[in-house]
Amino acid sequence: MKNYLFLSFLLLFAFGFTSEKEGYKVGDTATDFSLKNVNGEMVSLKDFEDVKGYIVIFTCNTCPYSIAYEDRIIELQTKYAKQKFPVIAINPNDDKRSPKDSFKEMKVRAKEKMFNFPYVYDETQEITKAYGATNTPHVYVLDADRTVKYIGAIDNNTKSAKDADKKYVEDAVNALLAEKEVPVKETKAIGCTIKWAM
Amino acid sequence: MKKITLLYLIVFSVQIQLAIAQSQPLQIIKVPELEQLIKSEEGKVKVINFWATWCKPCIKEIPYFVKAQQDFPEVEFVFVSLDFSENASRAESFGKKKGLNKSKMVLIDDVDYNAWIDKVSGEWSGAIPATLIVTPNGKKLYEKEFQQGELKELLKETYKL
């Protein structure tokens, strides 16, 4: 009996660990959400009518890598919103663990940088968990049916946009707009861990 | 008065020289050297910690690594900074201030992360803190912030050190 108990504990432990790695893979259907934007309005993917897809970016105020990409996120929105492929940025960080990532501070940052895209707060972190985002910035490119087509980094040079010679997100979106196969479907990047609530 | 100032200066410069003699400078490396660092070696356990000056949880766990380094002198510790190369001297002085003055410190100068994260470990998402433990039998990546005593426990229990 004791052995069984031990075994079930072990299994529970093992599953507990694997569940951390859950989240979407390319080909999965991503969930919609209803999250509060810095302008006070709730934002859902279904609110965007007649779009060809979505660039969902988990990012925040505080991570230096997120900050390094802010201008590039603004550019993505400038370039692709008019092609019906909008950017939606989600801040996944718990504001008790990272006070500068609070909703109030998001409003300040959005105003300072004149964000041209919705910047919403995943206060309960449920959407972040469902998507399986691990670090910031972390991008999910979805098609119009919310099928995940690309997961990973924006490009291959965090330091300098002009030195990036692989623009993963642009390549993915361009391919989808041309109804072609996404060339690189998954990449990894160094980033700040998501600050999960304790 | 002047003599005292001079004396101070002499004492101060001797101290600085001692400090320099004791500590190794931070080395800027590329991917092939990183691959060399994380290679399994006969009869050797290595703890490779990935950190950056801007990463708060990384800074928090450094003292536990310094402590483990004292407790397990047979283990090779390497601290890999992910700061940009132009911030190398800042990373070096920061690391030393945090107790890494006797540790091997390197900075990986390659921002094409996707090209090398999987070479470190397929288990790694790229988020830091992350720690790679290399033994003659293989590698395991811990993508987490270690708490006080946890690394020592792990080295003792899992790695039988």
A73: how many CB neighbours lie within 10 A of its CB? 24
Separation of alpha carbons B71 and B149, rounded Å: 11
Q: A156 and B111: CB-CB below 8 Å? A: yes
Residues of A in contact with B112 (CB under 8 A): 156-157, 166
pLDDT at residue A16 tops 50? no
Separation of alpha carbons B24 and A160, rounded Å: 30
Residue B95 has a pLDDT of: 95
Which of A160, A190, A198 is the best substitution to test chain B (most B C-beta atoms within 10 A)? A190
Residue B21 has a pLDDT of: 45
Domain ranges in chain A are 23-193
Is B110 touching A (CB cutoff 8 A)? no
**CB nearest to A159's CB, from B111, B114, B143:** B111
pLDDT at residue B61 tops 70? yes
Residue A5 has a pLDDT of: 53
Chain A residue with the nearest C-alpha to that of B145 = A193
**pLDDT-based confidence at residue A22 (cuts at 50, 70, 90):** confident
pLDDT at residue B15 tops 70? no
Residues of A in contact with B111 (CB under 8 A): 156-159
Write the ipTM.
0.79
The percent of chain B in helix, strand and coil, each rounded to the nearest 5, is 45, 20, 35
Is B158 touching A (CB cutoff 8 A)? no
Query: CA dihedral in degrees (A129, A133, A135, A141; nearest 10)?
Result: -150
Residue A18 has a pLDDT of: 42
pLDDT in tens, A47-99: 999 999 999 999 999 999 999 999 999 999 999 999 999 999 999 999 999 99
**pLDDT-based confidence at residue A198 (cuts at 50, 70, 90):** confident
Residues of B in contact with A188 (CB under 8 A): 113-114, 117-118, 124-126
141-170 of A, contacting B, C-beta below 8 A:
152-153, 156-159, 166, 168
Alpha-carbon gap: B116 to the closest alpha carbon of chain A (Å):
9
The residue-averaged pLDDT of A164-177 equals: 98
pLDDT in tens, A121-152: 999 999 999 999 999 999 999 999 999 999 99
Residues of A in contact with B121 (CB under 8 A): none
**By the 8 A CB rule, do A93 and A197 touch?**
no
Give the homologous superfamily in CATH for domain A23-193. Answer: Glutaredoxin (3.40.30.10)
Q: A159 and B84: CB-CB below 8 Å? A: yes
**By the 8 A CB rule, do B54 and B33 touch?**
no
| CB-based contacts of B82, cutoff 8 Å, min separation 6 | A190, B50, B51, B52, B55, B107, B108, B128
The residue-averaged pLDDT of B29-36 equals: 97
**Per mean pLDDT, which range of A3-17, A34-48, B84-98, B123-137 is the poorest?**
A3-17
Question: What is the DSSP track for A116-164?
Answer: -S-EEE-TT-HHHHHHT--EESEEEEEETT-BEEEEE-S-S-SS-GGG-
Q: B114 and A158: CB-CB below 8 Å? A: no
Q: B48: which 2 tokens?
A: 């490779």
| CB-based contacts of A73, cutoff 8 Å, min separation 6 | A57, A59, A87, A89, A115, A117, A137, A154
Residue A4 has a pLDDT of: 57
**Per mean pLDDT, which range of A128-142, B17-31, B116-130, B134-148 is the poorest?**
B17-31
Domains of chain B, each with CATH number or no CATH: 25-157 (3.40.30.10)
**CB nearest to B128's CB, from A153, A157, A190:** A190
pLDDT in tens, B81-119: 999 999 999 999 999 999 998 899 999 999 999 999 999
